[in-house]
Amino acid sequence: MQFPAPLVRGTLVQRYKRFLADVTLEDGQTITAHCANPGSMIGLKTPGSEVWLSPNQNPKAKLDWRWELIQVEDRLVGVSTSHPNGIVEEAIKAGKVAELAGYAGLRREVRYGKNSRIDILLEDEDRPPCYVEVKNVNLRRIDGPHPTAAEFPDAVTKRGAKHLDEMSDMVAEGCRAVMFYLVQRDDCDHFRIAADIDPYYAETLASARKAGVEAICYTCRLSLEGIELDAPLPLALD
């Protein structure tokens, strides 16, 4: 995924009301940018941090800027949850996800279950459909219990647990279901669930995996030009 326009550097003043961030640009102007991330953003909202914004391409948008990246120590971290589905779709089509290779068709946002939409549905005449749910991951707690781990979630997610239940139902119907955790940073050496943050999600994932739901995790390669899928990250789920 390439950013459609050059990013603009700024300094984070504050992130607030979940979807808003005040940023001071290099010309001294302080603007309000859209923060497309409903999570707690632990470790990614420190005032004074270097951040990168993109001009909003949506003419109906209320804000002129979107917060894309933050500098954490010497690394870039992606903060927007609006990109992972597109990044994963692009990678699957390019054959970069071995676990999801060989399907003839790919559709996005397909209705399924009781009242949900699957992020990606892979289809092929020669095998059952594959339901892929993509979760954005950008949590690393350097002072936490697992300082080198990428963790999910960073806040309680009842919606995430609901998706796991519905994916388990799809497996019971003879389909394939895959949880795809996309880590928008490259400074972690394994992935795990933050059970102390959301124990119910951890329990639900364990039950879903026993029911046949698969879990995979990949890191991203980030630059000021774009974000691309990089490499698989080992799982520590048991």
Handedness of CA 115, 86, 82, 188 (dihedral sign): positive
Confidence of residue 114 (pLDDT cuts 50, 70, 90): confident
Distance CA 218, CA 194 (A): 17
Contact call for residues 35 and 69 (beta carbons, < 8 A): no
Residue 60 has pLDDT above 90, yes or no: no
Phi-psi region of 109 (alpha: psi -120 to 50; beta: other; left: phi over 0): left
Confidence of residue 61 (pLDDT cuts 50, 70, 90): confident
Residue 139 has pLDDT above 90, yes or no: yes
Residues 6+ apart with CB under 8 A from 235: 190, 191, 192, 215, 216, 217
Q: What is the pLDDT averaged over residues 169-186?
A: 97
Q: What is the pLDDT averaged over residues 150-179?
A: 96
Report domain 8-78's class.
mainly beta
Q: What is the pLDDT averaged over residues 195-216?
A: 97
Contact call for residues 234 and 183 (beta carbons, < 8 A): no
Residue 20 has pLDDT above 90, yes or no: yes
Q: Determine the 3-state secondary structure of 12 from DSSP.
A: strand
Residue 58 has pLDDT above 90, yes or no: no
Residue 199 has pLDDT above 90, yes or no: yes
Residue 191 has pLDDT above 90, yes or no: yes
Domain extents in the chain: 8-78, 84-232
Which of 70, 58, 63, 59 is closest to 7 using CA atoms?
Answer: 70
Crossing angle for the helix pair 158-172 and 199-210, to the nearest 10 degrees: 10
How many CB atoms neighbour CB 63 within 10 A?
A: 16
Q: What is the pLDDT averaged over residues 201-211?
A: 97
pLDDT at 236: 97
Radius of gyration for the alpha carbons in the chain, expressed in angstroms and rounded: 18
Peptide bond into 153 cis (omega under 30): yes
Residues 6+ apart with CB under 8 A from 136: 37, 81, 83, 84, 182, 184
Average pLDDT score over the chain: 95
In terms of CATH architecture, what is 84-232?
3-Layer(aba) Sandwich (3.40)
- Helices within 17-106 (DSSP H only): 84-93
Q: Which residue's entry shows tokens 């089509």?
A: 93
Q: What is the pLDDT averaged over residues 75-98?
A: 97
Distance CA 166, CA 177 (A): 10
Which of 71, 90, 82, 77 is closest to 1 using CA atoms?
Answer: 90
